Structure 1
Amino acid sequence: MFSPPSLRRWVPVLAAAGALVLSAAPGAAAAGGPHLLYAGAVPGARIEVNGPVAFDIVGMPAGTDEVTVTSPALVEPVPLTPLRKGSVEFVQTDAPGTRHRIRGDIAPGTYPVTATSHGRTVATARIPVVAEGSAMIGRFVIGDAKRPLPAEGDRSAVRPGSDVIVVLTDGQPAAGETSLTVKSPLFDGPLTLRKGEDDPGCKCDDGSTLYGGHTTVRDDIPAGRYPMTVVSHHGQETTTRQVTVAGPPVPHSRLPWLLGGGAAVALVVLASIAVRRGRRKRRAAA
């Protein structure tokens, strides 16, 4: 699909997004009628305001010689041509001077798309358009600090009281955003994810920017599903993942607590008293 050289860059996008099924036009055969596919400029078939687009239509009747895609979201109509002579698949070709893009003066939203052949509607679609420069969250996961991190979408669970790592990758981070804040009922307070915080469990080789941080799941949280939300792009975008809590709480040694806070002060006072008593004994002996 999208075999011409000008469109080969869209193949990984469609592979990542899966089959982008769009509605057949009224009157077309539900099973064998034409299906319009599209790809955006980023994984997941997102399309940005002012961003490029690519269309493909499959299942056209034999003998069709041209298809045109139109939408109020497009700068100009997009012509599709047969993949090869006699093909039932039509693809977009970007000739010099064409502007096959989303308009830059529209608001984010969902817009209708229509494919026609000689004035007859053959397929329709609705494409979601996001704001220009939107976040491209490729991975936002939590996992046990002692185990490999789960992949995005994997079914995994954390235990109450467990030490965890939270990582997020953004293929299009906002300029100057060096840290992000994550909030969740899982934690006692907000967690800061720092840019470039690497961990053996997440090696990002796709050019995205990694944010990471370590924290502990509350040891009194009941089993269940809980939201984990990050606000990015300087407060403009919110991304939420659901996290499963299951299993018995992780036991923790009380020694770190005893060596901190008021207990540490008490130890210092006791040591000071012991030193003073030792001095008095030495003076009395003298």
Structure 2
Amino acid sequence: MGWSRITMGTAVAVCGGMVVCAAGASGSAAADDGSRAGKKTQLLFQSDGERPGELVDLQVVGVATRHEQVVVKSPAFAHAVRLAYQQDRMAEPSWGFGYQARGQIAMKAKRGRYPLTVEIAGRVVDRGRVRVVASPRPSFEVSGSLQGARPGESVGLFFDDLYPGKTGSSFTVHSKAFKAPVPLRHDDHGGYWNNPRMFEAVPSVLPDAEDGTYTVVLTGPDGRRIAERRLTVRAARPGDHDYKGKVRGPEFFGKHGDPDESTRRFRVPAGGRMHVLWRDASPDAGEEKRLTATSPAFEEPVRLERDDSKSADGDDPRFYGLARIRFGLDGGSYPVTVVSHHGRVKRSSRLVVTAAPGHHGDKPRHDGNMSGDHSDRGGLPAMAVIGGAALAVGTAGGLLVRARRTRTGDSR
């Protein structure tokens, strides 16, 4: 839960995505804790309706001096809640010290409104109310789009078992739409932290799942069937916005280069390394888990991973991976191919590989259209001795340097 001060005597709490305003204590509803004249202690909590067994965040601010006994009590709680000192932005000197803890609504609590008090060293310093609603029956939900989940797409599984008398925490979902049985777990730090009996998972539909309706079965700790739902799977079809996406590539950039500098005209030496880049405005669901680039020039297929860096924000989704060029490869032009959208899209680009100096297949090419070489460069210039003169052939700009002949007394 996040808290922030707005004006004196007012604070805002964000709980489970809902903004809750807690007015500062005033009049007879608030009391000075007795440690500093005029200083008001406030409870930041407003009930919008809690279920039996739910957790609630409680925060008290404005305590003038440090206390060890800051307690929140209510008949709605299973027991009194002792708050701990929080050294954070809510504990500024101008606001006094802050305390926080999580309380739990008793499972036996009935519907209605219950009083709530804040005590410091046994003295009531603020009051509030908590509203308890009826417990709904356990429910099992499978999320998915109205037109059906795409092959490879992630779907949400949620089992809400917060109901009197329910126990156990080992629940599993079975379906032919998934690769294997899916265990459901509770996440103490997730969006449903306040429901200790919300069990969830986000599996992916099989990337090659056929169109159809699949049964999704929830089982309990003993393997018994608790509930079942239906999941519709439908691959993209002609006319759908994501049928073939909007692809660009494959393109290339150097081992230590930047994706923004990618180009289709690229040279790399045999044994070198370089990146393959692919862009798609509407990739298939789960595409980032199976995109690869292949080439007879590569030591092995290259897995293209999604670029989640901030440099890609606002741009089409892009994927890239580091390729290793085979050693001893003949110089020449080699195709690099990427297949996406379940085989509906296939694109190739040509990559120029320069063979190692002295290799039998080395055929230097001088193509004025080949620019933007960001490949690895290393090693020393090739040396040759011609007619007693040393020649150094540089790799940059085609530089040729002739060493002076050493004088040995010959005046020629």
Q: TM-score interval w.r.t. the shorter chain?
A: 0.3 to 0.5
TM normalised by structure 2 equals 0.27
Normalized per residue, the structure richer in strand is: 2
| Greater radius of gyration (CA) | 2
Normalized per residue, the structure richer in helix is: 1
Question: Which fold has the larger relative contact order, with Cα–Cα distance below 8 Å and residues 6 or more apart in sequence?
Answer: 1
